[in-house]
Amino acid sequence: MVRINENFIKIPATYLFSEIAKRIARHKLENPSADIIRMGIGDVTLPLPEACVEAMIKAAEEQRVSETFRGYGPEQGYDFLRRSIIENDFKALGIEADEIFVSDGAKSDTGNIGDIFSPNNKVAIANPSYPVYVDTNVMGGRAGEPTENGGWTDLIFLRCDESNGFVPELPAEPVDIIYLCYPNNPTGITLTKEQLRLWVDYARTNRAVILYDAAYEAFITEEDVPHSIYEIEGAKEVAIEFRSYSKTAGFTGMRCAYTVVPKTVMAFSESGENISLNKLWLRRHTTKFNGTSYVVQRAAEATYTPEGKEQVRNLVRYYMENARIIRQALQSVELKVFGGINSPYLWAKTPDGMNSWEYFDFLLKKKNIVCTPGAGFGSGGEGYVRFSAFGDRDRILEATERLVR
Amino acid sequence: MVRINENFIKIPATYLFSEIAKRIARHKLENPSADIIRMGIGDVTLPLPEACVEAMIKAAEEQRVSETFRGYGPEQGYDFLRRSIIENDFKALGIEADEIFVSDGAKSDTGNIGDIFSPNNKVAIANPSYPVYVDTNVMGGRAGEPTENGGWTDLIFLRCDESNGFVPELPAEPVDIIYLCYPNNPTGITLTKEQLRLWVDYARTNRAVILYDAAYEAFITEEDVPHSIYEIEGAKEVAIEFRSYSKTAGFTGMRCAYTVVPKTVMAFSESGENISLNKLWLRRHTTKFNGTSYVVQRAAEATYTPEGKEQVRNLVRYYMENARIIRQALQSVELKVFGGINSPYLWAKTPDGMNSWEYFDFLLKKKNIVCTPGAGFGSGGEGYVRFSAFGDRDRILEATERLVR
């Protein structure tokens, strides 16, 4: 009799986005003329950079004739893209091309990375956080059983709240795998080099691995904020880094990302042997994946051309100006707001002790504005909502006027 | 201390393709003027159908402007593609759109499907077979330990050899998960409806699940050969089917496939509950995957237009004429050959008791022809080599002349 992976049925169904959709639909039904502005979604809105469109069309044309047609590419990504990545972002950090694994998305990579680890590892995850970290560890058998407050018996949740400025403290008990995401989704917070160094040192001392999600690094505007964990000494021994073109270059519908697995990052076998995670991930990547679409890799490569870089910079600048406007508006109505300086996300404390959903309802019904209830990112998000700077400038200005009104 | 998934280090390193490359390189070094013809590779060679190129360029143009720009799409695939799939291939079989999951490749899907099953299932796999089935079950902890003859203690290998015409017999001991691939890679064999019905009935009786890899269905030319397992009564209770645009429409570098998971396919929880695998796969697909590239899905959709269909038919016809030519040549030199009638693969018995690698070397050194040694597909492939019909007609004709000479 065929048996399911029991862990799958432990995961509570996610109602966040369907519940948001349901409440919007009800509000619209009751107020057919309501002009609703969506500030909740983490999806980009500006079109793809011209350089990427052009590169993609050129690549599509190559597929038209035998002479330039390309079939299977290398699972780890084409050399042209891996070399561009190294040249532009990682050369100074000593990362090499065979430590780069091109993929179809950071969601896939942060989810699939669990394949190479034992179910017996102790995993630490920030609360609140991107739900994929928790859900994929549940699926992989590392979470234990669900608890009453939405937690899991075997996961270590790193508390992030106002008292620690949403910067998690080192865990009190030893952990083996640590998920860090900076600039953070959902709080928009970043770590300084000094703060990140604490984690790298912790991982080195405890022979732990850091899974560092840097999908939002392009939005960093301040000086002392590391773009890559490899800016920290010793990180190449303990950290895997996830990067993505999704938010940086408007690739959410294109699907391209990459993961950096330095050959010096080790984990241990039961017999105590040191095993290079680069070798294990290569095995996983070449066995369960067949490469990212050629035309998409050409589009990603185009982000490193002079025009591409300029166009990407303009996208980021636009969204960060949105973030500045939203931040100012939220502050002017005396909401406590975090993030939005090195991140497209703003994390606002709900006023008057409202919970996430109450404030969501208030904004929807009174202002026709949609945000994301913080509780959707874990119990640590209760009492907060997330605003996103992805959106049309005019609509953002209209929304901020409504907020202030 | 962070621990690896121990199963990963059990898998022996695969030397097949690197060993082939090494032997070719050595031969070239010794014979610099050798005109080598590659007939081993399972990758397409004809360019992408015009209709797909045009659709992709149109989609790329849409990404250029805000009005038509698309960000995140549904993880399961866009409605336009899922509806086209149903309309063209599955309507008559009673499959519905929410039973279709669009992905980036059948390799990903056949590999990742293991996520939703318990490690305690007994798995049956044909020998020889596509190596991904075995390797991903090793990774998922369902294979046990490697044995001396290249097998695994916990896997049931279904013997396929000349004595049974490469059609596996039902397993003697009960199994829970059965991998079937028809038209078969590497043997090129297909099952009749009657033969496939035996497996569906077995699965229904034993409450097992069939993972049916139909990546090569477009190459079927004969009447009584099922294109989909759902042509067999009752299959919708026990079978998941994998389809791909890779070989059919030249998408090996584009990356698009889909998996059919009928809502009626059940597996069982420890407490004996019936669990719909559609629900579990939806959970997996939406948690660890973020959709196939929009432009690629538009290209896939174009294979269902009248022009697209005609162009795909022409591709298939071209390769199948290649297959016919190769088959005839192999037979004319009195090799025993299987497949090549409903499949782009031909499976030839090596002459004079040579093993796979000996015959590989013979063809390389004496004829400057590259094939794939059957032993690369498991111990059951020893004594055979695989020829592929993907290739340029002139080169195939030249190769067959050399074979016959």
pLDDT band at A42 (very low <50, low <70, confident <90, very high): confident
Nearest Cα of chain A lies from the Cα of B401 at a distance, in angstroms, of 24
- Distance of alpha carbon B48 from the chain centroid: 19
- All residues of chain A having their beta carbon less than 8 Å from the beta carbon of residue B209 are 2
pLDDT of the residue at A83: 98
- All residues of chain B having their beta carbon less than 8 Å from the beta carbon of residue A124 are none
Point out the residue among A104, A111, A176 whose CB comes nearest to the CB of B1.
A176
Q: Is B290 in contact with A43 (Cβ distance < 8 A)?
A: no
Which tens digits make up the pLDDT trace of A340-363? 999 999 999 999 999 999 999 999
pLDDT of the residue at A355: 96
**Residue A65: closest CA among chain B residues belongs to which residue?**
B47
pLDDT of the residue at A207: 97
- All residues of chain A having their beta carbon less than 8 Å from the beta carbon of residue B65 are 47
Q: What is the mean pLDDT of chain B?
A: 96
**pLDDT greater than 80 at residue B15:** no
Residue A100 has, within 13 A of its CA and on its CB side, a CA count of 27
Q: Is A6 in contact with B43 (Cβ distance < 8 A)?
A: no
Measured CA to CA, the distance from residue B320 to residue A210 in angstroms comes to 51
What angle is formed at CA B88 by the lines to CA B86 and CA B93, rounded to 5 degrees? Answer: 60
pLDDT of the residue at A41: 80
Nearest Cα of chain A lies from the Cα of B351 at a distance, in angstroms, of 32
pLDDT of the residue at A12: 84
Q: Is A289 in contact with B66 (Cβ distance < 8 A)?
A: no
What angle is formed at CA B190 by the lines to CA B189 and CA B194, rounded to 5 degrees? Answer: 140
**pLDDT greater than 80 at residue B394:** yes
Q: Is A50 in contact with B69 (Cβ distance < 8 A)?
A: no
Query: Residues for chain A: how many in total?
Result: 405
The answer for residues whose C-beta is within 8 angstroms of residue A263's C-beta and 6 or more apart is: A96, A98, A99, A276, A278, A279
Q: Is B295 in contact with A291 (Cβ distance < 8 A)?
A: no
If one counts every other C-beta atom within 10 angstroms of the C-beta of residue A393, the result is: 14
From residue A74, give the alpha-carbon distance in Å to each of A100, A103, A148, A286, A348: 12, 11, 46, 9, 44
Measured CA to CA, the distance from residue A367 to residue A405 in angstroms comes to 9
What one-character DSSP code corresponds to residue B375?
A: G
Q: Is B63 in contact with A50 (Cβ distance < 8 A)?
A: no
**pLDDT greater than 80 at residue A189:** yes
Point out the residue among A4, A48, A267 whose CB comes nearest to the CB of B69.
A48
pLDDT of the residue at A16: 83
Which tens digits make up the pLDDT trace of A111-125? 999 999 999 999 999
Point out the residue among A120, A254, A280 whose CB comes nearest to the CB of B8.
A280
The answer for residues whose C-beta is within 8 angstroms of residue B32's C-beta and 6 or more apart is: none
Residue ranges of alpha helices (H) inside A333-376 are 356-367
Q: Is B108 in contact with A135 (Cβ distance < 8 A)?
A: no
**pLDDT greater than 80 at residue A14:** no
**pLDDT greater than 80 at residue A15:** no
pLDDT of the residue at B337: 97
In this prediction, residues B131-157 reach a mean pLDDT of 95
The answer for residues whose C-beta is within 8 angstroms of residue B71's C-beta and 6 or more apart is: A43, A44, A45, A250, A252, A253
Q: Is A117 in contact with B8 (Cβ distance < 8 A)?
A: no
pLDDT of the residue at B45: 93
Q: Which ipTM value was assigned to this complex?
A: 0.96
Which tens digits make up the pLDDT trace of A63-81? 999 999 999 999 999 999 9
In this prediction, residues B71-84 reach a mean pLDDT of 96
Point out the residue among A64, A209, A254 whose CB comes nearest to the CB of B53.
A64
Nearest Cα of chain A lies from the Cα of B87 at a distance, in angstroms, of 25
In this prediction, residues A258-281 reach a mean pLDDT of 97
Dihedral over Cα of B305, B307, B310, B312: its sign: negative
**Residue A277: closest CA among chain B residues belongs to which residue?**
B4
**pLDDT greater than 90 at residue B27:** yes
Measured CA to CA, the distance from residue A321 to residue B200 in angstroms comes to 60
The DSSP code sequence of B30-60 is H-TT---EE-------SPPPHHHHHHHHHHH
Nearest Cα of chain B lies from the Cα of A128 at a distance, in angstroms, of 17
pLDDT of the residue at B150: 86
Nearest Cα of chain B lies from the Cα of A300 at a distance, in angstroms, of 13
Q: Are strands B209-213 and B257-260 parallel, antiparallel or unpaired?
A: unpaired
* Nearest C-alpha neighbor of B371 from the set B343, B390, B394, B352: B390
Nearest Cα of chain B lies from the Cα of A105 at a distance, in angstroms, of 7
pLDDT band at B17 (very low <50, low <70, confident <90, very high): confident
Measured CA to CA, the distance from residue A9 to residue A12 in angstroms comes to 8
Q: Is B4 in contact with A73 (Cβ distance < 8 A)?
A: no
In this prediction, residues B284-311 reach a mean pLDDT of 97
pLDDT of the residue at B405: 85
In this prediction, residues B40-65 reach a mean pLDDT of 96
Measured CA to CA, the distance from residue A95 to residue A90 in angstroms comes to 5
pLDDT of the residue at A17: 82
- All residues of chain B having their beta carbon less than 8 Å from the beta carbon of residue A60 are 53, 56-57, 60, 295
